[in-house]
Structure 1
Amino acid sequence: MNFRTPAVRLGLLPAGIALALAPSFASAQEAAAGTTDLDRISVTGSRIRGANMETQQPILTMTRESLEKQGFSSVADVLNNLTSAGSPAISRSDSLSSGENVGGYYVDLRNLGAQRTLVLMNGKRLGATTAGYQDLGQIPMSAIERIEVLKDGASSIYGSDAIAGVVNVITRKNIDGGEVNVYFGQYDQGDGENQQYSMTLGATGERGSLTLSAEYSKQDPVWAKDRWFSRDGGKGPNSTTADWSAVSQNSTWCDPRVWGDCKARPQGQAQPEWKTLNEGGNPNNPADYHLLTPAEYANSNEQMSVLTGTERKSLYVNGTYDFTDTISLNTDVLYNERNTDQQIAGYPFQSSSFSTPLSADSAFNPTAVNGVGGSDVQFRRRLWEVPRTTESQLKTLRFAPTVSGYFEFAGKTFDWDVGALWNRNESIKSNHGDMSLIAAEQALGASFINANGVAQCGTAANPVALGDCRPWNPLLPYGVAGAGSLADQDLQDFLFPVYTTRGVTKTTSFTANLAGSIVTLPAGDLGFAVGVEHRKEEGSYVPDAFAQSGMSTGLGQKPTRGEYDLNEVYLELNVPILADMAFAKELTLNVASRYSDYSNFGGTTNSKFGLTWRPMDELLVRGTYAEGFRAPTIADLYGGLSSSFESYIDPCGITAPGSVAGNAACINGGAPANYTQLGQAGAVCGTLPCQSGDQFISGANPDLSPETSKSTTFGLVWSPRWVQGLDVSLDWYRYEISDMIIDDSVDRILRDCYVLGNTDRCSSVTRAADGHISAITYGTANLGKMETEGYDLGIKYRLPELAIGQFNIDWQTSYLSKYDEQNQNSAGDNIMMGMVGQDALFRVRSNFNVNWALGDFSVNYTARYYSGLNEDCISIGCTDPDRYAYGEKAPLRKTGANTFHDLQVSYKAPWDATIALGANNVFDHKGPLMYSQQNSSFAYYGGFDIGRFLYMKYTQRF
């Protein structure tokens, strides 16, 4: 094919040059046959255009045809199913997540974190949150032509964030006709309904084209009470110890006449008694109460979702126009609305945490006689009547025009493009279920029963109008009617306002690129690409005034506001060294370097070196070395303080692994020698890590510097002549990341303070009289370092067509040989701690796919394999209780491997339609309980299937 003819440019060049950051010539024989062809080039990862250029890096291409054979309805689900992808920390299965990033869909290549994978749409960046997360959910599935995944560092080509790799989502263009798609599915338990409707229309003319794609998608939530691993409170049906909070929806109170301030006493002493109302008892009669029993604890999972619900509306438009035979316009416009709904259990209110006791002058105080002579009463109660809900709305508007062309000079052809990007994300979060502390203080204050028998705030002599205040009786259990019941809608309206948080992020960029050939060497053309980019990132995230003031039971937050801009210039060379020689059909060197100048921290230069050697036609050898970096985000630098209820292990607790209870640091810090870690409501933690009952404070760091990385890959691609249709690829990779920007965790601070004896780290820790940690402050820092390496094996085989049909086999496997994070042992030595097999870092992930087609029928089968995981344990199910690691006792619980099976049957109807029926996890396989709640809010790995999912798809073309 002659890439220089006007006819070809009309069809290919505008689409290709629209990828301002990546040329878009097709990558492999996959598009037609599902295999890799060594005589074609890959597009993502280089800006040099040329029909003879090979890829120096491992790239996976997923065509639209392959996407349609899967049972997934979102881009993120497809990408997270890759064997080289990890499970992102924020997902639909993490219902306890909070903040700006919740509701998005993210991809995490190489388990390096979603912020270290750069996501492009037609070669240009997606808009990101202030924390640097790029939401794939804004890209409609109906608009996708193919997805290219570069599994290698690429900062020299694309700049910041391309540490782990690059995902380039390429949309459909130049369509002539139309297509309607209907997708419907649900779990065989009858929940989690997923429906998606889309329409794509296109028209092409002599000089241009217009493509429109509209999509509506809705996924209903799945509730924790309806799944075996979560319905019993987070520890599963075989647990012997309840994992529920010691706070009950039935409410408890402590008699101040007996226990004074009702605070927990030092261990070994009698503890205050907490009592709840007898069934049918009089809440004003102290004799009608009994001691709270564990059977009455609230199971918070009864009100939580395992998978959050989400709804999305998208409209994508692409237009191309050829001004002349050598100058073209390509424009992308995207509008997307996304709503995500979360629900977690009603707040575990503890009056002592907010200095809001039930007033001695309250009409509901059981220590008073006829409303006189009472004492302030401390109480605890799950606000069960009002679950906490969050509706996250995100609106995205994206406009990305590019003018491109080519010209001839000195017998050479040069391609050029000038492009721009305006991307705006506007988010609104509406929270309900957190109580206003201002209203709570009034509702728990003085009150009386008026002449009409109605509870009223104030006193008979000085009443407060019912419209201005509603009295609350927190001692009435859930489901019990009476004056001051929390079931009263007017009282709920008074105590629980709707909190609104708003955020806006903007990305603006301008690019100019020039590519061509400088000279012709004996082995071929010396190709080059050079370009400049100016980019500006702006962002703000402004919490509700209640959250900023801390005057609600919700997590406190301060505003995040900031911006930065940068200028970049890059140069890439592709140097052919040898060609058409014995044992050197091709030997090519590719080098690239990019200089970035940031307004907030200065300049950085990152380079890449790649070598491609083809000793024979059927064998390709490739290798790269790349430098990379990730700039600190707006949230990293300018984020406001926020609070959270952290789960952690206190090394001063006698049940902690490697406990140092009783050492000088613990004693001096306020932890008794026999201290057992306390959690919510001051209850002894049944399992570790254990969630705090107090809010801890974290914040940003304006002095952060960029993360830096080095990545190396080496691979082989073999297509033997004697087995037509077989392609085998094997790639080794290694990443080293330094100065990682991480949240300085509670566990890290406690370890440094109490285990390693670093007294400077103890200053932010505050302990209460009973020894539990009541407050701690921490922030982000360049403290992290990690190293990882592994292998990717790909085998694709298109069998010769047989009488019984056509078979295609695709087997992709990733082996993680190393994943080490910097830490310290008990002696204070810096060590690299191996993490493979823990924290959702699977040693092996493998997808085996077989597709059979005969006439109009086809069957697609996939087996998804995950090797076993390990987790630290205290007493529950320890398989290796005597294990030692890095000089410390580190008991371990091991779980076995898991395989999930998917099946789809499709039929191409005579009226140009395709009908498909399928099931993901067709055998309803259940993964193991994971008490460490890896990538989940429950005792189950968040990336595993939670049931058998059945679906149907209908596609009508016209």
Structure 2
Amino acid sequence: MMKERVLSNSIRLLCVSGFAFTMQSVQAQTPVTPDAIQTVQVTGSRIKSPNADSPSPLQILTSADIAASGATNLQELLQKNPTLGAPTLSRTNSNFLTSGGGVATVNLRNLDDSRTLVLVNGRRFVSGQPGETAVDLNTIPTDFIERIELLTGGASATYGSDAVAGVVNIILKRNFNGVTLDAQMGKSDQGDDSKKKIALTWGTSSADGNSNFMGHFGFSKQGPVYSRDRGISAIDQNSAMIRTGNASDAFIADRPFYSGFAPQGRFFHDTGSYTYDANGNPIAWNQNGTGGANPTGYNRSALRTIAVPVERYLFATNGTHAINENHSAFFEGTYASTRASTNIEPYALGAEDIYPASGGQVPAEFLVNGRMVRNPIVPQYLWDRISDTDGDGARDYYFTRRMAEVGSRHSDAERGTFRLATGLKGTLKDWNYEAFIAYGKTKESQSSTGQVNVLNFRSALEAVPDATAPGGVACRDANARAQGCVPINVFGFNSISADALKYVVAPGSLDNAVTQKLAGASVNGEMFELPAGKIGWAAGAEYRKEESYSIPDPLTQAGLNAGNAIPPTFGKFDVREFFVESRVPLLKDQPFAKSLSFLGAYRHGDYSTVGKTNSWNAGMEWAPSNDVKVRGTHAVSTRAPNINELFSPPSQDFPTGLVDPCLGVTLTSTQPSAAACRADPGVLANIRANGVFTQTQADLQGISGYNRGNPNLKAEKGISSTIGIVLTPRSIPALSKFTFTADYFKIKIEDAIVSTPRQYSLDQCYGGGNPAFCSFITRYPTNVGSSSAGAIQFSDTAVSNSGGKGTEGVDLTASWADRVGPGRLSAHVAYTYVKSLWDLPLPDAQKDENAGEISTAQNGATPKNKAVVNLAYKWGAFGINSTTTYYGKVALDDQFLAQFDLPARSVSTGSKIYNDFQFNYTLKKSVELYLGIDNAFNTKPAPIISGLPGNVTGTETDASIYDPIGRRYYLGVRVSL
């Protein structure tokens, strides 16, 4: 069983409620007189009111929180909050992706990034990925942020599609005057993960105060962290289950567990396989060095990356101009240039990549002018041990080889994000209005290395004797020779010549873009005086258009670079929406009802793709006294499918592990699948020829398939409920500085968009009573021969509204700040208990419970208990902030354990605690020095090794949750003028 020693650790302060902030922000608060009361607006409502509370659970992080964290990227801070789940993309989990390396996204409630809506100043921001809706937080400058509001729970009625799990609303600074410089640098304990940052923010106002202009320039660079530089990930390993003498079960790391794809090659003959030593001599294959011999496999971890290096240039600006006393114009502009590089080991080439039709059988001789001619590159040792295995009359062999001569698979992605919003706002009598337009575009250009052209590789493998060619050997195909084909020798270390390498390498490219156009207008105000006050209301309309494309290079599109065929994706949609919202005061200053209000909102959308959608929410706020408030909401939210889900064309895949229900069927079989199988002409021909439906090894290895979108998708529906209590005991002197909130939440997503599992389609098509799934299956026809007739040629999958997701739990927050001794102490606690987090892959399937498990269904580790604690003390010029993050223990996925006949929760990893500290000293009124230590006690990540669910390749842990880097230091200075 995996057991980890729990180390004491911590995290940065996160604001735990909408009522109390960090120590710095508490100090900034001043008493508010009745004459100074103004209407404000908070996330979750478009109605302005004197009350800044939210009917839904709301947590706020201020600019002081960001400064105290030392975070370079906003994601680093947000991930400390217990309401956040594992992000789909981050520096530490995106190295192995074909696109999206280094992108930083956010995932509320672990319901997926696509169900978390990220806003900037209450308006949508363009996505950081083509075809998706998730915003790349790399594009938001942290030093330009005033606060961040985290609203958890459905908010589609207020903000539109995608707010099923909640909203992250980033409020930028405004009306700033002066200049602020923040410079920082840091490194990890191991001398890597270097960090450099410089940020300059300035602002000025006109002499009459009618205009304000702000600007920001930022540069940051975070260096790589390689797998080889951490003990847990330096050597290839794999999980292995052992049964001890007392019948207890555990998973251990089988280490080393080197790859069978080695740079010197592994060659399979009739009776076994062999490889080559450093001197070019044939030796027996010994992947992991068992029996005392030296290993001949390959350590992939030597070239893998734990943390992707990211370099960013950021420019942001905003401004306002008062046209007159009641009307003003505003604008916001952002440009972000990001570069990220991923790096993994050289390509693992198998003969089936070159000869897919034959399952990887490579001919060692060819029919030339009526006689068989031996390939002179094939060594005698192999020649003597091979025969004709596929019936074409020529001797065959199979090989695997790590293409070290081609080099690492390296990708450089350059992304540029541009966004501009402008509009008018003001008052008309007692009404407030705002109208805006916005345009945003993210464009990415990606270049990659490490792939080969399989057609050229095949031509280069097929060599024949030729006295006129260099070395007496030439490519067999005349057309290939005319195009520069040079025979390739794959037998041994560094055996591929420079000329042959030049002929087979295939650099890759990928061009992506996503464009967003917005327009909207809204009004809000008060009307109809009731005994408890006026009714607040808001109404508005919005228009949004999204377009996206993703274009790989031609070889990738054709599947001719030893990878899967990936066609280009194009898509667009638009939506027109209108919304209304109201706050109705029901009681005021009554016994047991200091106030009682009803809140309601409704939004109607009309999509060019899914048609009409409706969202609504209803909430109540009841304050029996000044010290206690009870709040609750019920909401129905929607999420329209994104461009990738709708328009992705068939993208080739090569699935493994499929079990054909027709296997073993005879002419007299009576099981439910038999009749459906015999109805296929190819299957029937196979049975008649062999007596029973039979598959060859080539049939099993040759299964292909396509993943595709679905233009017939409809919108998801999310149903969420919250009920909570807010305690602000100001009437009790001893507790007058204390605030506490407790909120219960429950979210259920119906008609969730999921990909149909391939095995499920097979089982439903053949004997499952649902022949509609047969459209996903293509079998070989009768004319391919009895050995392959009826075998699965293509097993496809597509997305559909056939799933479900949900979560249920409790959020607790507490905060307190007061003078203690010579200084001021503040404390914050935020805790989330996840009672349930489930996934429903298909309507007739059982719910897969993931709370407290390490599961692939819900993005890795999902502890039931997660908390963050912040303590801050300020004494004169000195200050200290400590932040503690707690992740509860998690067990391996119960479905994974069931494969080994192990009971649920029987294998788990311990809880983890991370501690961060920042020390600051005010040198002068305008100069502050700060020193930070992240993961101060060097808490090791939970050992979730390769082969276990939740593992992030190259890290040997779930790097979406746990820190795979270790202790880090940073030093900085802030100057304000």
Q: TM-score normalized by structure 1?
A: 0.83
Instruction: Look up the match of 1:870.
Output: 891
Do structure 1's residue 208 and structure 2's residue 211 form an aligned pair? yes
| Contact 1:784-1:822 at 8 Å conserved across structures | yes
Do structure 1's residue 173 and structure 2's residue 174 form an aligned pair? yes
Distance in 2 (CA, whole Å) between partners of 1:35 and 1:765 is: 68
1:600 is displaced (CA, Å) by 1.5
1:388-419 C-alpha deviation (Å, 9 max, x unpaired) = 112222111101002111121xxxx1111110
1:731-775 C-alpha deviation (Å, 9 max, x unpaired) = 110001000001223465577689979776576388998x99986
| Contact 2:152-2:167 at 8 Å conserved across structures | yes
| Contact 2:41-2:48 at 8 Å conserved across structures | no
Distance in 2 (CA, whole Å) between partners of 1:73 and 1:678 is: 55
CA 1:751–1:131 in structure 2 vs 1: closer, same or farther (change >3 Å)? farther
Residue 85 of structure 1 aligns to a residue whose secondary structure is coil
Do structure 1's residue 709 and structure 2's residue 709 form an aligned pair? no
Distance in 1 (CA, whole Å) between partners of 2:899 and 2:567 is: 44
CA 1:831–1:252 in structure 2 vs 1: closer, same or farther (change >3 Å)? closer
1:299-314 equivalent positions in 2, closer than 5 A:
299-314=299-314
Do structure 1's residue 815 and structure 2's residue 833 form an aligned pair? yes
Instruction: Look up the match of 1:346.
Output: 346
The correspondence for 2:284, drawn from 274, 287, 290, is 290
The correspondence for 1:531, drawn from 540, 550, 557, is 540
Instruction: Look up the match of 1:729.
Output: 741
Distance in 2 (CA, whole Å) between partners of 1:709 and 1:788 is: 11
| Contact 2:95-2:306 at 8 Å conserved across structures | no
CA 1:396–1:279 in structure 2 vs 1: closer, same or farther (change >3 Å)? closer
Instruction: Look up the match of 2:874.
Output: 853
CA 1:76–1:568 in structure 2 vs 1: closer, same or farther (change >3 Å)? same
Letter in 2 for 1:420: I
Distance in 1 (CA, whole Å) between partners of 2:95 and 2:655 is: 11
The correspondence for 1:519, drawn from 528, 550, 572, is 528
Distance in 1 (CA, whole Å) between partners of 2:297 and 2:654 is: 19
| Contact 2:95-2:101 at 8 Å conserved across structures | no
CA 1:53–1:380 in structure 2 vs 1: closer, same or farther (change >3 Å)? closer
Residue 802 of structure 2 aligns to a residue whose secondary structure is strand
| Contact 2:944-2:951 at 8 Å conserved across structures | no
1:365-400 C-alpha deviation (Å, 9 max, x unpaired) = 225999xx9945432101123111122221111010
Instruction: Out of 44-53 and 235-244, give the one that drifted further.
Output: 235-244
1:170 is displaced (CA, Å) by 1.1
Do structure 1's residue 94 and structure 2's residue 93 form an aligned pair? yes
1:535-568 C-alpha deviation (Å, 9 max, x unpaired) = 1111111121111111111232111111111111
Instruction: Look up the match of 2:848.
Output: 833
| Contact 2:111-2:806 at 8 Å conserved across structures | no
1:514 is displaced (CA, Å) by 0.8
Distance in 1 (CA, whole Å) between partners of 2:699 and 2:223 is: 33
1:186-585 equivalent positions in 2, closer than 5 A:
186-205=187-206, 206=208, 207-235=210-238, 239-240=253-254, 243-255=257-269, 259=270, 272-281=271-280, 288-294=282-288, 295-355=295-355, 357=362, 360=365, 362-367=375-380, 375=395, 377-385=397-405, 386-408=407-429, 413-446=430-463, 457-458=474-475, 464=481, 468-477=484-493, 480=494, 482=495, 484-485=496-497, 488=498, 490-585=499-594
1:574 is displaced (CA, Å) by 0.9
| Contact 1:157-1:570 at 8 Å conserved across structures | yes
CA 1:924–1:757 in structure 2 vs 1: closer, same or farther (change >3 Å)? farther
Instruction: Out of 198-207 and 829-838, give the one that drifted further.
Output: 829-838
| Contact 1:155-1:628 at 8 Å conserved across structures | yes
1:796-820 C-alpha deviation (Å, 9 max, x unpaired) = 011x313242111101000001122
CA 1:891–1:143 in structure 2 vs 1: closer, same or farther (change >3 Å)? closer
CA 1:35–1:166 in structure 2 vs 1: closer, same or farther (change >3 Å)? farther
Letter in 2 for 1:204: S
1:485-529 C-alpha deviation (Å, 9 max, x unpaired) = 4xx3x5444322321111221111110111111222211111111
Instruction: Look up the match of 1:657.
Output: none
Letter in 1 for 2:215: L
| Contact 2:90-2:102 at 8 Å conserved across structures | yes
Residue 301 of structure 1 aligns to a residue whose secondary structure is helix
1:130-152 C-alpha deviation (Å, 9 max, x unpaired) = 13222121111121111111112
Instruction: Out of 916-925 and 28-37, give the one that drifted further.
Output: 28-37
| Contact 2:145-2:171 at 8 Å conserved across structures | yes
Distance in 2 (CA, whole Å) between partners of 1:755 and 1:496 is: 46
Instruction: Look up the match of 1:75.
Output: 74
1:782-801 equivalent positions in 2, closer than 5 A:
782-798=801-817, 800-801=818-819
Distance in 2 (CA, whole Å) between partners of 1:178 and 1:547 is: 49
Distance in 2 (CA, whole Å) between partners of 1:178 and 1:807 is: 29
Residue 78 of structure 1 aligns to a residue whose secondary structure is helix
Residue 442 of structure 1 aligns to a residue whose secondary structure is helix
Distance in 2 (CA, whole Å) between partners of 1:45 and 1:354 is: 56
| Contact 1:246-1:681 at 8 Å conserved across structures | no
CA 1:470–1:312 in structure 2 vs 1: closer, same or farther (change >3 Å)? farther
Instruction: Look up the match of 1:596.
Output: 605
Do structure 1's residue 916 and structure 2's residue 930 form an aligned pair? yes
1:710-741 C-alpha deviation (Å, 9 max, x unpaired) = 11111111011221210000011000100000
CA 1:755–1:83 in structure 2 vs 1: closer, same or farther (change >3 Å)? farther
1:411-469 C-alpha deviation (Å, 9 max, x unpaired) = xx11111100100111112121111112212322326687896586447999947x823
CA 1:432–1:558 in structure 2 vs 1: closer, same or farther (change >3 Å)? same
Q: TM-score normalized by structure 2?
A: 0.82
| Contact 2:892-2:908 at 8 Å conserved across structures | yes
CA 1:471–1:880 in structure 2 vs 1: closer, same or farther (change >3 Å)? closer
Distance in 2 (CA, whole Å) between partners of 1:190 and 1:950 is: 10
Residue 353 of structure 1 aligns to a residue whose secondary structure is helix
1:833 is displaced (CA, Å) by 3.0
1:248 is displaced (CA, Å) by 1.9
1:786 is displaced (CA, Å) by 2.2
The correspondence for 1:613, drawn from 622, 628, 633, is 622
CA 1:773–1:846 in structure 2 vs 1: closer, same or farther (change >3 Å)? farther
Instruction: Look up the match of 2:7.
Output: none
1:252 is displaced (CA, Å) by 1.7
Distance in 2 (CA, whole Å) between partners of 1:626 and 1:858 is: 43
Distance in 1 (CA, whole Å) between partners of 2:768 and 2:402 is: 38
1:315 is displaced (CA, Å) by 0.7
| Contact 1:95-1:305 at 8 Å conserved across structures | no
Distance in 1 (CA, whole Å) between partners of 2:480 and 2:606 is: 65
Instruction: Look up the match of 2:909.
Output: 895
- Flag the structure with more relative contact order, 1 or 2, with Cα contacts below 8 A and sequence separation at least 6: 2
1:853-882 C-alpha deviation (Å, 9 max, x unpaired) = 11111111111111111114899xx79975
Letter in 1 for 2:435: V
Unaligned runs of 5+ in 1: 1-25, 260-271, 283-287, 653-662, 683-691, 885-889
Distance in 1 (CA, whole Å) between partners of 2:660 and 2:745 is: 37
1:217-274 C-alpha deviation (Å, 9 max, x unpaired) = 212221112222322214389623654432222202234xxx3xxxxxxxxxxxx412
Letter in 1 for 2:378: N
1:141-184 C-alpha deviation (Å, 9 max, x unpaired) = 12111111111210001110000000111112222111111122
CA 1:530–1:872 in structure 2 vs 1: closer, same or farther (change >3 Å)? closer
CA 1:517–1:628 in structure 2 vs 1: closer, same or farther (change >3 Å)? same
Letter in 1 for 2:455: I
Residue 30 of structure 1 aligns to a residue whose secondary structure is coil
Residue 108 of structure 1 aligns to a residue whose secondary structure is coil
Residue 301 of structure 2 aligns to a residue whose secondary structure is helix
Distance in 2 (CA, whole Å) between partners of 1:172 and 1:326 is: 22
Distance in 2 (CA, whole Å) between partners of 1:231 and 1:100 is: 25
Distance in 1 (CA, whole Å) between partners of 2:658 and 2:27 is: 49
Distance in 2 (CA, whole Å) between partners of 1:292 and 1:746 is: 35
Distance in 1 (CA, whole Å) between partners of 2:465 and 2:215 is: 65
